[in-house]
Amino acid sequence: MIVLLLGSGGREHALAHAIASSSDCEKLFTAPGNPGTAACGRNVALDPLDFEALMDFCEEEGVDLVVVGPEAPLVAGIVDAFGERPTAPAVVGPGKDAAQLEGSKAFAKAFMARHGIPTAGYKAFTAAEREEGLAHLAAAPTPIVLKADGLAAGKGVLILEDRAEAQAEFAAMLDGKFGDAGHQVVVEQFLDGVEMSVFAVSDGETYALLPSSKDYKRIGEGDTGLNTGGMGAISPVPYADTDLMARIRERIVAPTVRGLAKDGLDYRGFIYFGLMIVDGEPLVIEYNCRMGDPETQAVLPLLDQELLPVLEALPDGRLDDLVEPGGDLAVRPGAAATIVLASGGYPEAYSKDKAIEGPADPASPASPADAALIYHAGTRLDGEGILRTNGGRVMACTGRGPNLAAALDQANAAADTLCFEKLYRRSDIGSGF
Ligand code: AMP
Ligand code: GLY
């Protein structure tokens, strides 16, 4: 099987490593990739949003399957575009309509309401409904949760204590603070609980779960400060016992997969459920139509079955050949923890091009049997072969062990081997369990 993977972050390095380690993988291309994915296959300088160029490349190289890391190509309709060219390979992921689960918060909320999936109460307002929205906010209980409807690079959610500030932000969103993403604003009930993420693969009829994960979104220790893409992750979630996972399957995952089929939405890919557990009951905060970053770097190293056959089965609707429907993918015992190494200043302005010192060949994670894996995210090799920083989140170090404490020790030990100017990492990932 010849595979084309799209994306260039730490998630994609983890996916590339898992795909390339599958016995069925003849060749792996990553577009555009990073130095880590280059060690798993060949990087190609193609834009993940240039569907025509990607299809031409797939024809030239005989690509059999396309795997999409980030949401943008899915929300832009890559599955539909490839579906229209008879010679194009299958793409793992939802069609454009189904990708609205991530692409539009108002769509996702209406989907959940229609299918009885537990979520925070909400009202959605368009620019034409500005006055109703302001009146609603004047009487809403605080804190107030405001969400720009569309993709806003993780910045479109505001949680505000002050009603007047919420009204001003609401108006700013409708006035284009997040561009088109704010043409509609969702005002949501605040949920007080603990967060976790669950990932499913679905072939449109059935699903299977990957290990659960918790990601650490804020930049500062103790989960304080600005939101980031994620500064670390652990897997599985210590409080996600069999009872809670059974409720998550029954109330959230199964109704979502059934709801998609009922609505005629083509969804054959990863489903990311961002959950809040309130008094033991799971509610959906958000759907994403892809895997999480950095959760993927913690979750995939726990898999005890090859990833590529599972991905191959999704577009063909053959998942039940490989896994028990509604069950779990095979996982190894123990835990994994991932610590992100960021450039100081991230998620605001930060510098690039700092030389990265570390193990002789940090371009490839250790073999799957090893306890620590180093994934590349924002890195590049310069003309002289020196590895340099090239983004806010630079690398992700994953440790594995018989329990979370052991996994964290391994992750920290791996992170200690890497060094660059203004390196910043959180020291409290996974603490408190
Ligand atoms: P999202 O971009 O939807 O993942 O939201 C970003 C973060 O905002 C989430 O990870 C939560 O921590 C928080 N959040 C979103 N919605 C709510 C809510 N209804 N109640 C409390 N916190 C929320
Ligand atoms: N780590 C959060 C996300 O990938 O959306």
354-370 residue pLDDT tens: 999 987 666 566 555 56
pLDDT in tens, 130-155: 999 999 999 999 999 999 988 877 77
Q: Are the CB atoms for 213 and 195 separated by under 8 Å?
A: no
Query: How many residues make up the chain in this entry?
Result: 433
Quick check: 204 and 267 in contact, CB under 8 A? yes
For residue 209, give the nearest of 235, 233, 238, 234 by alpha carbon: 235
pTM to 2 decimals? 0.95
- Tell me the mean pLDDT in the region 39-67: 98
How many angstroms is it from 229 CA to the middle of ligand 2? 6
**How far apart are the CA of 288 and the centre of ligand 2, in A?**
8
* Residue 415, SS3 per DSSP: helix
79-117 pLDDT, tens digit per residue, is 999 999 999 999 999 999 999 999 999 999 999 999 999
Decide: 312 in ligand 2 pocket, CB within 6 A.
no
Predicted local confidence at residue 181, as pLDDT: 73
Q: Which of 71, 159, 185, 283 to mutate to test the pocket of ligand 1 (most atoms within 8 A of CB)?
A: 159
CA of 214 to the centre of ligand 1 (A): 13
Q: What is the dihedral of CA 13, 16, 21, 22, to 10 degrees?
A: 150
- 249 pLDDT more than 60: yes
91-95, 259-263, 297-301, 323-327: the lowest-pLDDT one: 323-327
C-alpha closest to that of 186 among 160, 157, 154, 165: 157
Cβ(127) to ligand 1 under 6 A? no
**Mean pLDDT score of the chain:** 94
Q: What is the pLDDT, as a whole number, of residue 134?
A: 94
Confidence of residue 180 (pLDDT cuts 50, 70, 90): confident
What does the pLDDT read at residue 363? 59
Query: Which pLDDT score is estimated for 150?
Result: 87
Q: Is the CB of 102 under 6 A from ligand 2?
A: no
Sign of CA dihedral 314, 317, 322, 323: positive
Smallest Cα–Cα separation from 66: which of 50, 89, 46, 45?
A: 89
Euclidean distance between CA atoms 103 and 287, whole angstroms = 9
Tokens standing for 190? Answer: 């605040």
Return the residue whose CA atom lies nearest to atom 9 of ligand 1. 285
Residue 300 has pLDDT above 60, yes or no: yes
Task: Give the distance (Å) from ligand 1 centre to CA of residue 188.
Answer: 10
CA gap 363, 25 in Å, rounded: 20
pLDDT value of residue 365: 63
DSSP tally for the chain: helices H, then strands E: 14, 23
Q: Relative to the alpha carbon of 218, which ligand is closest? A: 1
Ligand nearest to the CA of 71: 2
Show the domains of the chain with their CATH numbers: 2-95 (3.40.50.20), 121-188 (3.30.1490.20)
With 60 as the cut, is the pLDDT of residue 238 above it?
Answer: yes
For the chain, percent of residues with pLDDT exceeding 90: 90
- Interacting residues of 164 by C-beta distance below 8 A, sequence separation 6+: none
The pLDDT value given to residue 366: 58
Which tens digits make up the pLDDT trace of 382-410?
A: 999 999 999 999 999 999 999 999 999 99
Is 288 close to ligand 2, i.e. is its CB under 6 Å away? yes
Pocket mutation for ligand 2, best pick of 151, 215, 234, 299 (most atoms within 8 Å of C-beta):
215
CB of 120 within 6 A of ligand 1: the answer is yes
**What are the pLDDT digits (tens) for 257-275?**
999 999 999 999 999 999 9
Please state, in angstroms and rounded to a whole number, the distance separating the CA atoms of residues 24 and 242: 33
End-to-end Cα separation, the chain, in angstroms: 41
Q: Contact, 99 vs 65, CB < 8 A?
A: no
Tell me, what's the pLDDT at 432?
A: 81
**3-class SS at 298?**
helix
d(Cα 315, Cα 268) in Å, to the nearest integer? 6
> Residue 26 gets which letter from DSSP?
S
Mean predicted confidence (pLDDT) in 212-235: 95
Beta pairing class for 194-202 and 207-209: antiparallel
How high is the pLDDT of residue 25?
97
- Closest ligand to residue 228's CA: 2
What is the radius of gyration, based on Cα positions, of the chain?
Answer: 21
CA distance 362 to 376: 8
